[in-house]
Amino acid sequence: MSELRQRFYIEDCPIRGEVVHLEKVLQTILAQRDYPQAIEVLLGEMLSATALLASTLKIKGRISLQIQAAGTFKWAMAECDHLGQLRASADYQEDPRFAEGTDSSTVLKALVSPVLFINIEPEVGERYQGIIALERDTLAGCLMQYYDLSAQIPTKIRLASTAQRAGGLLIQLLPRNSEEEQQRVDEDLWPRLTLLTETLKAQELIELDATEILYRLYNEEEVRLPEVELLSFGCTCSKDRCANALIHIGAEAVRETLEFQNPITMDCQFCSTRYTFTAEEALGLFGKHLS
Q: DSSP string covering 2-36, please?
A: -SEEEEEEETTSSEEEEEEEESHHHHHHHTTTT--
The DSSP secondary-structure symbol of 149 reads I
- The amino acid at residue 234 is G
Q: Which helix (H) or strand (E) holds 62?
A: strand 61-68
Of 76 and 268, CB closest to Zn ion:
268
| In the complex, minimum distance from the CB of residue 85 to Zn ion, in angstroms, rounded to a whole number | 11
CB of 267 to Zn ion, least distance (A): 9
Closest CB to Zn ion among 108 and 242? 242
Residue 235 is a binding residue for Zn ion (CB under 5 A)? yes
* Candidates 38-46, 63-71, 233-241, 253-261; binding stretch for Zn ion (CB under 5 A): 233-241
Nearer to Zn ion, 219 or 232 (CB): 232
Does 196 bind Zn ion (CB under 5 A)? Our answer is no
Cβ-proximal residues to 232 (8 Å cutoff; 6+ apart), any chain: 3, 25, 83, 84, 85, 86
Contact 57, 105 (CB under 8 A): no
Q: Is 233 in the site for Zn ion (CB under 5 A)?
A: no
Q: How far is the CB of 242 from Zn ion (least distance, A)?
A: 10
Binding to Zn ion in span 258-277, by CB under 5 A: 268, 270-271, 273
Q: Does 237 bind Zn ion (CB under 5 A)?
A: yes
Asked if residue 111 binds Zn ion (CB under 5 A), the reply is no
The window from 45-53, 94-102, 235-243, 250-258 that contacts Zn ion (CB under 5 A) reads 235-243
Q: Verify binding: residue 86, Zn ion, rule CB under 5 A.
A: no
Residue 8 contacts residue 224 (beta carbons within 8 Å): yes
> Which region among 4-12, 124-132, 138-146, 228-236 touches Zn ion (by CB under 5 A)?
228-236
Asked if 89 and 64 count as a contact pair (C-beta separation under 8 A), the reply is no
Task: Determine, following the binding rule CB under 5 A, whether residue 78 of this chain makes contact with Zn ion.
Answer: no
CB of 79 to Zn ion, least distance (A): 11
Contacts by 189-196, CB closer than 8 A, 24 or more apart: 189/10, 189/13, 189/15, 189/221, 190/15, 190/154, 193/10, 193/15, 193/156, 193/217, 193/218, 193/221, 194/156
What SS3 class is residue 256?
helix
The verdict on 234 binding Zn ion (CB under 5 A) reads no
**CA 241 – CA 255 distance, rounded (Å):** 19
Least Å distance, CB 32 to Zn ion, is 9
For binding to Zn ion (CB under 5 A), which residues are involved?
A: 235, 237, 268, 270-271, 273
